[in-house]
Amino acid sequence: MKSWQDLGFEIEITKDESPTLRLLQSLDPAKAFGESMHHSGGASIETTHLYGNVAAEILTKIQKPHFMVVGLGLGYIEMNIAREAIKRGCSVGLITSYEAIPELSEFFIQWLHDRAGNLSPEVSSVYDQALMHVLKGTEISENQIKSFLKDHFQTVADIHGPLHADVQFVSRYHGFFYDAYSSKTHPHLWEEDFLNRLLRESAEPYCLLTTYAVKGTLKRALKNNGFSITEREGFFTKRGSTLGVRASGVS
């Protein structure tokens, strides 16, 4: 059975005691350590701050919304979407998740469908811990979250691979949860031409895009496609984050 280390990751426990993954090797020559999937201030809290709260906003405005998640990772964003929908008794029409590392998609599906025998205990425990933190302060059970997500992710084929520059988008979306690694790791995901095409071809008239990043290419693409931009306070020590809103036809 593969371990996190086999995938090139180490487990990091963040300040809210929720787990995240950090690359063992840095792709940035200026840094001695690899990039983490979340801020050390709290993986679960950061996800709710940036993505869970935006999912809640979309669910109050749109019936059966479509969400695109760029960066499945440990599934924190997908768990947040499920939590917010269950809290409101809402349905979600589509969750399209992209993940560049095939094993992360496979791990998530095996865990989601309770096939613990196919995962090492170390791997299973990280997902269990993540879900426990996502559910803190709610009366929602682990089984409710898993059942909700199983409807969207029945097999590993339901999770898309890398979001290539020439990708053909499968739907239009009310929410973009842009949690990709930095431009040093995945440059094309932050290029203005790609971001313009992403929004032009796959954003619904009512649409929100939320991300931890504050980048000029992203802001210009949002403005080019009719979004208003709020530069929000960043999580913990981060200097900022970005929320783009296009609210055509929805009051």
Global pTM value: 0.94
pLDDT reported for residue 235:
66
Q: Does domain 42-247 match CATH 3.40.50.150?
A: yes
Q: Give per-residue pLDDT as tens, 192-220.
A: 999 999 999 999 999 999 999 889 999 99
Res 157: pLDDT: 97
Residues 203, 185: Cα–Cα separation, whole Å: 25
* Type of residue at 217: T
The C-alpha atoms of residue 146 and residue 79 are separated, in whole angstroms, by 8
- What is the C-alpha to C-alpha distance for residues 79 and 136, in angstroms, rounded to an integer? 12
Average pLDDT over residues 118-144: 96
Kind plus residue range of the DSSP H or E element containing 199: helix 192-202
Average pLDDT, integer, range 44-59: 96
| Angle in degrees, CA 56, 58, 64, rounded to 5 | 105
Q: What is the DSSP letter of 243?
A: E
Unique residue bearing structure tokens 């791990």: 107
In the chain, the amino acid numbered 126 is V
| pLDDT tens, residue by residue, 58-71 | 999 999 999 999 99
